[in-house]
Amino acid sequence: METFQSAPRALRADTRIVSILAALIALVVFLIDALTPLDIAIAVLYVIVVLLVASTGNRTATIATAWGCVLLTIIGFLLSHDETVSSGAFARCAVSLLAIVTTGMLSLRNQAATTKMQEQLELLNLAHDAIVAHDMNERITFWNRGAEALYGYSAQQAIGQPIQRMTQAKSPVPHAQIRTELLCSGRWDGAITRMRHDGSEIVIASRAALLRDAKGMPRAVLATSNDITQRKRMEAELRRTEAFLLDAQRLSRTGSIAARLPAGAMWWSDEAYRIFDYSRDVAPSLDAILARTHPDDVAIVCGAHEAALSGARDIDVEHRLLLPDGSVKHVHYVAHRAATEREGDEYVGALMDVTETKLAQEALARSTAELAHVTRVTMLGELAASIAHEVTQPMAAIVTSGGAGLRWLNREKPEIAEAQQSITQMIRDAKRASEVIARIRAMARKRDSQPATLDVNEIVGETVELVRRELERHRVDVRTALAPSPLTVQCDRVQLQQVLINLIMNAAQAMAAVDGPRVLRIATGASHSDEGYAQITVQDSGTGIGEETARRLFEAFFTTKAEGMGMGLSICRSIIEAHGGRIWAEAPEEGGARLCFVLPENAGGDDEH
Ligand code: ADP
C-alpha cells in the first residue's frame, strides 16, 4: 500500500530548489540542442524539466513550463538548422514536441488526481477522531491530525513505525484474536489502552476495518479511535460510589425506595430488600410492603400511600414490620416528591431500620423512670420528718375537735350546732391529712408519665406546701411571684412536682452553707426568650455555681455533695426535655444561683384530664 502523508508540506519537495534545477536542465538542454551538431532528439530531455516542475504541484507553472519547453525546442530547431532541414531532424523535433506535450498533459491530470486526494486527506484531518491506517506488517501508513492530537506523535514521527510497539497497546482481548477477527469478518471494535508520546496511558474506543486489494488479499487496516479515558474513569468512579452507597446503606441499615404514582411502579435497593426480608426475585410493590407490615400499623402505611397519591410533598412515617419468623422491626420511612412528570409523581425515599434505636430509647426511658423513682424515694427519706409533722398536725386537730364534739353532745342539752361545727372541722383536718398522704403515695409510686393540662401556678403552690416544713427547718424565706393569670402546660403532674422539689431542695442545701439571709424566689410567667413557652424560675441566695460546676451541672452522677447522688438535675433535664422544654442555670449578679426551665405553653386546653 502506498504511503500517504497527511501534511501537504511533506508531499512537496522544496519548490525553489526544484525550480532552479529545472531551469538549469532546460538551459543545458537548450544549449546542447541549439549549439551542437548532435543528431539525436536531445529536446526530448525537456520532459524532465516538465516533470520536475509538475512535482511542485503548481498547475500554472507546469502549463507555462510545458509551453516554454515547446518554444525552446522550436527555437533550438530553428537555430541549429538554418537552411537545410533534413527529414530526420524534423522528425526528431516533432517527437520531442509530442513527448513534451504528452508529459505536460499527463502531469496535469496526475496533479488533478493528487489535489483531489489531498482534499480528501484534508477532510480526514478535519475529523475529531484519530484515523490511522497501517499495513499488514502493522507499519503506520496514515496518521491524521486527530491521531497527532490523541497520541502526541506527529505524522512524520509516526509514519513507518510499528503501531502496536510504538503505542504499547494493551487490550483485554489478546492481540492475535483481534487480528484473526479482522481477517475473518473484516471488522473489529473494542476498547484498547495505548501509551501516548508523553508516557501517559489513554483508553480508546477503536473501530477497525480491513482493506483488501482487487484480488481479495488483505492490504491494510484503517482504524478510527476516540479517547474514552475520562468516561472509563467516571464509570469506575460511579461503580466505586455505588459500592460506597451500598456499604453505607448496609451499615446504617437504610434502604432506598423509589415509587412512581399513581401507576405504582416501584424500585427497592438491596438494603430495602433485606429490611423487608424479601429475596431479590420478589417484585417491589405496595402489596409486598403491606404483607410485611404489622397488622396494627397497616393503616399508617395506607395513609402514607394515600397522602402520596394526593400529591403530598413529604412523607414521614414510623411503623412496625412483622416478619415471617414472628420478629418485629421498627422502621422509619422518609420520602419526598422528586419529580412530577406526565406519567405521574416520582417519590424517592429512605427506609431506616430503627429497631435498635427504638429498643435503646425504651431501655433509656425505663432506666430514667427507675432512677427518678430512686431519687424520689431517697428524697422522701429526707422529707419524712417534715411530712410526719404535716400529718400529725391535722391528726392532733382531729382528736381535739372530736373531744370538743363529744363534749357538746354530752351536755344535758346537747349543742347540736356546736357539735356539727366540731365534726366539720374534723372532716376538714382528716381531708388535709389524707391529701398529704395521697401526695406522698403519688410521689413514691412508680408509674408511667401521664401528661395533663396543668396550671404552673397551682403546681408551684402545691409543691411549696409539700416542702414547707423542710424550708422552715432551713429558715428559708420563700417569696413567690406568680403569673397573674393561669399559665397552663401539658405535663405529668408528679414529674413537674419532682423537678420543682429538686430545684427547691438544691436551693435550700446551697443556702444552708451561707450565713446571710436565705431567700428563695420562685417566679412563673410567659418566657421572654422562648415565645409560646411558660417559664418557671427558682432563684436562691446560696453559694452560687462555680465555673466547673456550671459546665457539668446537668451531667448524671455529677455532685459536689458528700451524700449527693448527682442525679437530680440530670433527671430534671430528661423530664423537661421529654415535655418539649429546656432547662438551664444562670448566675445572678446579686449572687446565688438561678435555675430556669421552660415548657411549651398549652394554648388550647383548660381543664385537667
Ligand atoms: P445532687 O443534689 O445529688 O448533688 P444534682 O444533680 O441535683 O445532684 O446537683 C448537682 C450539683 O449541682 C450539686 O452537687 C451542686 O454542686 C450543684 N447545684 C445544684 N443546684 C445548685 C444550687 N441551687 N446552687 C449551687 N449549686 C447547685
Nearest to residue 292, comparing CAs of 248, 344, 343, 328? Answer: 328
Q: Helix 59-80 crosses helix 87-126 at what angle (to 10 degrees)?
A: 170
CA 553 – ligand 1 centroid, Å: 7
pLDDT score at 380: 61
Grid cell at residue 103:
508529459
Number of H helices, E strands in the chain: 19, 17
**Structurally, what CATH architecture does the domain formed by 449-609 represent?**
2-Layer Sandwich (3.30)
Measured from CB, residues less than 6 Å from any atom of ligand 1 are: 502, 506-507, 510, 540, 542-543, 545, 549, 553, 558-561, 564-570, 593
Q: How many Å apart are CA 374 and CA 556, to the nearest integer?
A: 14
523 pairs with which residues across the strands?
A: 481, 537
pLDDT score at 606: 45
Q: Which residues of the chain have pLDDT under 50?
A: 1-11, 605-609
Q: How many CB atoms lie within 10 A of CB 255?
A: 23
Residue with CA nearest ligand 1 atom 18: 506
Q: How many Å apart are CA 325 and CA 428, to the nearest integer?
A: 61
CA 536 – ligand 1 centroid, Å: 18
Tell me, what amino acid is at 103?
T
Strands 488-492, 314-322: parallel, antiparallel or unpaired by DSSP? unpaired
Q: How many Å apart are CA 72 and CA 33, to the nearest integer?
A: 9
pLDDT score at 376: 64
Count Cα neighbours of 300 within 13 Å in the Cβ-side half-sphere.
17
Nearest to residue 74, comparing CAs of 59, 63, 85, 62? Answer: 85
Query: What CATH number labels 129-227?
Result: 3.30.450.20
- Domain 236-353 listed as CATH 3.30.450.20: yes
pLDDT score at 379: 63
Count Cα neighbours of 350 within 13 Å in the Cβ-side half-sphere.
11
pLDDT score at 24: 94
Torsion angle of alpha carbons 284, 289, 292, 293, nearest 10°?
A: 170
Nearest to residue 67, comparing CAs of 36, 19, 105, 38? Answer: 105
Atom of ligand 1 nearest to the CA of 566: 8
pLDDT score at 374: 66
Q: How many Å apart are CA 29 and CA 281, to the nearest integer?
A: 93
Instruction: Return the SS3 of 395.
Output: helix
